[in-house]
Structure formats: C-alpha cells, structure tokens
Structure 1
Amino acid sequence: MAKPKHVYICQQCGYQSPKWLGRCPDCEGWNTFIEEEISPQTPKAGSAPKTNPIPLSQISDINLENRISTGIDELDRTLGGGLLPASVILLAGEPGIGKSTLLLQMAEHLLHKKQKVLYISGEESPQQIKNRATRLKAAKSELLILTTTDLSDILYHITNLKPDVVIVDSIQAVYNPEFSGAPGNVGQVRECAARLFQLAKEQSFALWLIGHVTKEGAVAGPKILEHLVDVVIYFEENTRQHRIIRAVKNRFGAANELGVFEMRHNGLHEVKNVSELFLTPDQSLRSGSSIVCTYEGSRPLLVEVQALVNRSNYGTPQRTVSGFDYRRLSLLLAILEKYCHLNFGLFDVFVKVAGGLRIDDPGIDLGVAAALYSSRLDQPTAPDTVYIGELGLGGEVRPVSFIEKRLQESMKMGFKQVYLPAGNLPDSQSRKKYKLLLSPVEKVNDLLLPRE
C-alpha cells in the first residue's frame, strides 16, 4: 500500500507545492498554503467499468421544455427559463446578502408545484431556518430540512428521499470524513462538490450549491468548482435595498443575464421595471450626465452615466471609475483629446454608473464620451436623449448588437431622440415603427464639436 504524502495546497486556487510558499505562483495570493495529507488510491485491478461508450446519434437531446419554473421571474430569467433536472447551480455571494432567503423563497414556490425539495444546512440550526421561514410566511410548508455537515449522511438521505430539488447551504461547510483536511479547505470542497455533482446527474435532481466568496469577490475554494457546475450565479449588492443576481456561466442559457430584487422585511421582491432603477427621476438639464442603453444577457437597460471633470489641485490628475472599466476610460480620454481637441491632462476625471451597476458593454462608449465632454465644457446634454455606440481608436462610432431591442426600450421609457451608429440606422420603412428621432453618427467629432 502506497504511503500518504504531505503537500501544501493553496486555499484560493488549489495549487500544490511540495514545500510551503509565502506567495502562490498561480493566483499570487499571500499566506494561502496549508499542509494537507494526500492518501493515494490504488486502482482495483480487473474491475468492470461503470459506463460504456454510446454513439452520439443514440443520445437524446435535452428537452428545454422540461424546465421547472422557480416561481420567481427574475431568477427564471437568470437561469435561462427555469430549473432543468440534473442541473447543478452555484450561487455565490457575500455573507448576509440574501442567498439563503432567495432559495428559501424559491423552495416555497416549488412546493406549490408538487416538487419535493430538500434543504440541507450546515451553518444554521432548524430553529434559525424556521425563524427565517416565519418572516417569509412559509413556516407551515412541507419543506424537508436536514442540518448536517457530514457528506455521507447527505448522500444517504438524498438517495432514500429522491427529491426533485436539493439545496446545500453551504458547500464550504460540508466535509467528507473519509477525506483528509478540515471542512472548507480546497480538497474537501472539491471532493464534496464532485460527489454531489455525480449523484445529481445519476438521480436527475436539480442541485443548488451556496458558496462563499473571497475578499476579492471570487468564489472561495478551488477554481475547478466553477468549471464543474452548469451555472454560476453571483449575488451582488448595488445599494442597501437592492440586490442583483448575475449569471457569469450558463450551459443552458445566456451568460451575463441578470435579475434585480429589492430587499424588504418579508424577503426579496422582484423589480419589474429595471430601467427605472438606474435612471434619475429628475430629468432637468445638467452637465456631466448622459443616458445610455446597455444590453445585459437578453435584456436592454437604460442607465444614467455621470462624469465629473474638474481642474486638479495636485501634481498628478486623478482617474476614478465606479461601474466602468478604468482602462476603457483612459482610451476614451485619448480619443476625445485627439479628435475633439479637448485637454484632460490637468483635470481630475471621475466616471460613475448610477445605481451601482457594473457595465462591460462597449455600446455605452458614446454616452460616456458625451458625459465627459459635457462636464469638461460645462454644457448640459438633452435629458430626453439616449446615446448608443462603440468608439474605435480612429474616432469612428462602430455598430452595436441588438439595436432593435435597445431602440424599443428607449421608446418604452419615453425618450425622444437616440444618437446611434450610422451602421445601425434602420431603413426608412423600419424607422416608422419607432416614435424616436434617430440621429446617425459616423465620427465622435460629428456629435461632440468643441466650442472653446
């Protein structure tokens, strides 16, 4: 029998080293190595394989019509239309943000659809779960509660109860007594997640894994955990009241899909008109503000972008962003300096996406440039105007995707004019269905003419 060996494993990424290291060469984390004992497993000689190869033509397709609605529209949208049997979903977020509350609300809706739900908690007692259920007005439901952290007990009850949906809160609290290491370390998380994943595929139940996040905002544990599951959803907090769930990986639907909720005393409530959340009710003239239309997943959103350009009182001007990419801001400033002849070298520049939303869509470049220009020259933009377009390094306004849905959302929210790329301008027949003044723009300097 092979002797167990001792290795040092990074608790953030799973990197292994024969000796202790102060800094992980893979994820560059400091003081993340913990010594663990690994017992090599000897393969059984002559054992028959558990599965056999199957011709691709004989494999049945996934029937997307078998999706189970969670009863929460925003969650269904993020999942791509609902829960699929044998799917594994990882929900990650900071402590106290509402992960357990959301899944407890989902479990209550599923029970009304005659689905058997098993809620496994390794962090709370049954009384604590009952108190939360009472607040959500679900204390009298038939939800099955199991409070344990032992993986063998969890697998035993899942096999016997045969539930339709299983919720594990949280995967970092579960441990396998047959595996070395403390609960929550990389080896335990990887082993427990793999065993639960395998059972979910064999018994065809939907599995929810609640995960912790690190101080950098990434899922705690090995990176293989995100590769293993079918869907990865991050729970974000943009204000004290509002929560955003965002699918960063989805094998059954669109990635980057998001849902918005409002936290109240009796649980999370859906926000139906999301664009209203990111727009300022006061639409009076003011400099440094513009309205952009971004596209997140399968949903167009109207968002206010605010910019502040002020003469610097220090040696090095500041460049500060919130909800926008810092390097993209530097690129836009260079474009404005070259093609609109604006000098930002002696000015502090601040850019913020209102409402706490984080946007990576390049289709808001034109709106950000308009806000920067407006603040730099202290000239207000029209409050009933939307800016759509990506800026190229030559100052050209490049076409964006999903222009029809962006225009429909702009018209729905009552805006009058849209500046858009010339390459996205609909034909004369299609333009009639939009009650908007569509103004095509080929170059950024065609829109932003310096008046100094």
Structure 2
Amino acid sequence: MAKAKTKIAYVCSDCGANYQKWQGQCGECKAWNTITEFREASSTTKSVNAAVTRNKNAGYTGALSNGVQRISGVQIENATRVSTGLSELDRVLGGGITLGSVVLISGDPGSGKTTLLTKVAEVMSQSMSTLYVTAEESLSQWAKRGIERLKLNFNEDNFLLSDTDCIEDIVDQCLENNVRFLIADSIQAFESNQAEGTAGGVTQVKICAKILNRLCKQHGITLILVGQVNKNSQMAGPQTLKHIIDTAIHIEVNDASVRILRADKNRFGDTEQVGIFQMTEKGMFSVDNPSRLFLSGSEEHFEGSAISVIKDGARNLLIEIQALATEVEGEKSIRNCIGISYSRLSLITAVLKKHGGIRTYYDINISLVGGLKMSDSETSTDMAVMAALLSSINSKPVPQDSVFIGEIALTGEIRQIPQIVPRVREALSHGKKQIYIPAVAYHKSMQQFVKKGQSIHPLKNIKELIEALS
C-alpha cells in the first residue's frame, strides 16, 4: 500500500495563520516565535467523513448534497429559531438560536462561558434531547455548579452529561441517544483517534471541529462550541475554524460583573447587536436596561460628572463620565484616563484653553462609570467630557437631568455625529430633561419625542457650552 502523502505547513499557535515557510514573527497577530511546523496526512480528510458517514455526496459544510441543480429547483427553507431563555443572547444570535446551526462562543477564562451555557442547557433540556460534554472539568464539578450554585432544574428525561474528550465517543453518544442539542466545552480539549498531535494543536482542533460540524449538519443537531482565547483575547486556534461555524460570539469582560456579548460572524442575522449581562453568584442575567449599569445611580449631586449617549452595535447606551481636576503638585501635570482615549482628552483640554479661555494646567483624572472602554474614533462623548471637566474645575455640579452629545472640533465648534436622533430619543426616554446637541444636527422632527418639561438645546461652539454651564 502506498504511504499517505504528508502535507507540511507552518502555523501560528496563537492565531492559526498559515505560512509556506517558517518566520520569526506572525504577520497576523504580531506574536514572536509562535510559528511551528505541523504535518497533516492527506488521509486525514477521509477520516473526517468516516467518523460520521460514508456518503460521498457531502455538500454545505458536510450536509448531504443532491448534486448539481438549477436555481429554480433549489428549495428555500426558512430558519427555525428557538429561544435560549436569555433575552440578551437571543438578541445577539438574531432572535434566538437557529436549529441545526453551529455556534462558537469564546471568552477569557472566568468570563462566564460555562455559566452561560449551563443555563442554556437547562432551557433546552425542557424541550429536546440535550447533551453537554465537559472535557475541562469532572462531572461532579459541573453538576455542583449547575445544581448547588446556579439552582438549575434540568429535565432528567432529556438531559445527558459527558466528560469524554474523544471526539469519536461524542459522535457515538449523539447518535445512540438521538441528541438534538449539543454543547461541547471546549474544542481545544478534544482529540480524535484519527488525527496526529495533542489536544489543542492545530491539526486536532481542525479535525475535531470538522467532525462535529459534519455530524450536526447531517443529523440536524444544534451545536454550541466553546473556544479558548490567546493572550490578546482573540479566538485561539486555526482561523479555518471561523469558516466552519455559522456564528461566532465573543464575551468581553469590562469589570467585575459586566459581560458584553458581540458577534463577529452570523449567517442567520446581523453582527450589530450587542448583548449585556451581569454576572452574579447565581449566574449570568440579561440586563434589560443596560444604561443603569453605566450610570452611578447616586441621588446626591456631585461635581465633575456628565452624561452622554454612545452607540454600541445597534444599541444606544447612556453613560456617565467623571472628571477630577486638581492643582498640579509636581513639575508636570498628570493625565489619567480610564475608558476614555488619552488623545481625545488632550485635544479637548487644548481646545478648552485656546478657544474657551479656560486654564487647564491641572492634574486631570477621568473615567467612565461601569468599566466601559471607548476607542479613539469615538467622538460623541467629547462634549460630555468637556462638561465634566468644566464642572470639576469650577466646582459646580452639572444638572443630573442633562445629557451632552457632540464632537469637539479643533476650531472650538461642536460638530455633528452619526445617528444622533436615536441617541436623543434614548436620552429623552430615560427622563432626561436638558439635551445638548450640535446646532448643525438639530431639526424640528426631534420635537416629536420631547415631553413636558424636556427640551433640546442646539449649541454651535464651546463658548455656548461654557455659557450654558455657568
């Protein structure tokens, strides 16, 4: 028998980027000394098919194919969605999880991946045969979390639990028990008997993902894969994994309790939706009104605080910006930024000094409530940052019912920002009474959202802002 040909490739162990030859630094993730050689036999692809089915007519990611067809003969099927029991997760998925789809969830250790999916498993077990494969902890550890800490109530007739790390065993368990919903935690912990290398290696991850994907597509099983991340909080393993799955969701950790879900791929919905959860001792709970997490909620009126509205994905969130300006104690003023871009703060203080005539030689500390982080390109909070800074410098609180939305230009003008109408509407819906926006963005249609006691104030430049706060 002729010996199977071996394909040699060079792959980054952090991000999975492929190269034709070895090099010191990965061009994708910029990591050093992470590119390693691995060998994949040409017979490996055959083993993927053999692990699930012997049918040679495999089409869409392993689903059985009907061969070549005319477009008029293609039957269009509407995706069937079911709720996961978590409204914020349903939002990110596009209105619920699509039956028969493959979803990849990643996040830093401790971000709540297993806690979230344990709740999903409980909900799914009420209506369909569900299997949770936990290869990273014992069955006792998993059950203790689900039953004792989270107080979940699984349907004993529909729920199965396994701690195997063999991908072939998982396939057999699914087929023997007619499993309709599978959670595999995590893809980097599984091994296939038909592939070389150890668990978590490039070859094993690719083959295990392909086997599970083909199993689900051919037998109508809904799959959620858990993925580990690298040191940059990016999905670890080969990037081909992203092409195999239907939806990729990442869990961001902003502070001790807030979790934000984002989808960077979704074949059954858009990637603009953002899900917000709060982690507690009893599990992760959907936050119906996320703006309250990013506002201090204090009834006492403090100086150095101002509220703005940001757009995160498809959601508009009220956030609170806090500033503290104190006399310089050293030879050079200090600028500390938490969640706010340092370059944006430098620009705002320079404009305030040049066009506002305000002395800014202070030690300045500025932060966002709730642990949010904004990119350098986020400019909609400029006016709120300036309002908070002026409040601290003048030792005069900003009215709590005020909201500031607008970009500060180098000329001292207040510039328009994208999609300002939904932001204004969000602020008004939270009962805020004084909404300050760029004059160039104001138009009469905004008045339809204004209720008694509320008003919108268009401002042309920072001098008008300073006057409004005096």
Name the TM-score, length of structure 1 as normaliser.
Answer: 0.85
Deviations for 1:365-385, whole angstroms, at most 9, x for unmatched residues?
322232234334544322210
Q: Closer, same or farther in 2 for the Cα pair 1:5/1:408, shift >3 Å?
A: closer
Residue aligning to 1:141: 155
Residue aligning to 2:142: 129
Residue aligning to 1:189: 205
Q: Closer, same or farther in 2 for the Cα pair 1:443/1:55, shift >3 Å?
A: farther
Tell me the secondary structure at the aligned position of residue 456 of structure 2: strand
Residue aligning to 1:299: 315
Q: Closer, same or farther in 2 for the Cα pair 1:447/1:429, shift >3 Å?
A: closer
Tell me the secondary structure at the aligned position of residue 196 of structure 1: helix
Deviations for 1:379-401, whole angstroms, at most 9, x for unmatched residues?
43222101122345554434444
Residue aligning to 2:112: 98
Residue aligning to 1:356: 371
Deviation at 1:208, TM superposition (A): 1.0
CA contact (8 A) 1:162 1:203 kept: no
Paired residue total: 447
Structure 1: which amino acid aligns with 2:170? I
Q: 2:195 aligns with which of 150, 175, 179?
A: 179
Residue aligning to 2:432: 415
Q: 2:461 aligns with which of 426, 443, 447?
A: 443
Residue aligning to 1:366: 383
- Structure 2 residues not aligned, in runs of 5+: 47-54, 59-64
What is the rounded CA distance, in whole Å, between the counterparts of 2:223 and 2:88 in structure 1? 19
Tell me the secondary structure at the aligned position of residue 104 of structure 1: helix
Structure 1: which amino acid aligns with 2:86? I
* Cα root mean square deviation, aligned: 3.3
Deviation at 1:74, TM superposition (A): 2.0
Residue aligning to 1:205: 221
Tell me the secondary structure at the aligned position of residue 122 of structure 2: helix
Structure 1: which amino acid aligns with 2:119? Q
CA contact (8 A) 1:90 1:208 kept: yes
What is the rounded CA distance, in whole Å, between the counterparts of 2:324 and 2:239 in structure 1? 38
Q: Closer, same or farther in 2 for the Cα pair 1:224/1:337, shift >3 Å?
A: farther
Q: 1:264 aligns with which of 265, 277, 280?
A: 280
Deviation at 1:328, TM superposition (A): 3.8
Residue aligning to 1:36: 38
CA contact (8 A) 2:7 2:41 kept: yes
- Within the alignment, does 1:279 sit opposite 2:299 as a pair? no
Q: Closer, same or farther in 2 for the Cα pair 1:267/1:417, shift >3 Å?
A: same
CA contact (8 A) 1:37 1:181 kept: no
Deviation at 1:184, TM superposition (A): 0.9
Q: Closer, same or farther in 2 for the Cα pair 1:57/1:185, shift >3 Å?
A: same
Tell me the secondary structure at the aligned position of residue 98 of structure 2: coil
Deviates more, 1:220-229 or 1:292-301: 220-229
Residue aligning to 2:94: 80
Q: Closer, same or farther in 2 for the Cα pair 1:325/1:56, shift >3 Å?
A: farther
Structure 1: which amino acid aligns with 2:134? S
Q: Closer, same or farther in 2 for the Cα pair 1:298/1:59, shift >3 Å?
A: farther
CA contact (8 A) 1:342 1:450 kept: no
What is the rounded CA distance, in whole Å, between the counterparts of 2:225 and 2:239 in structure 1? 15
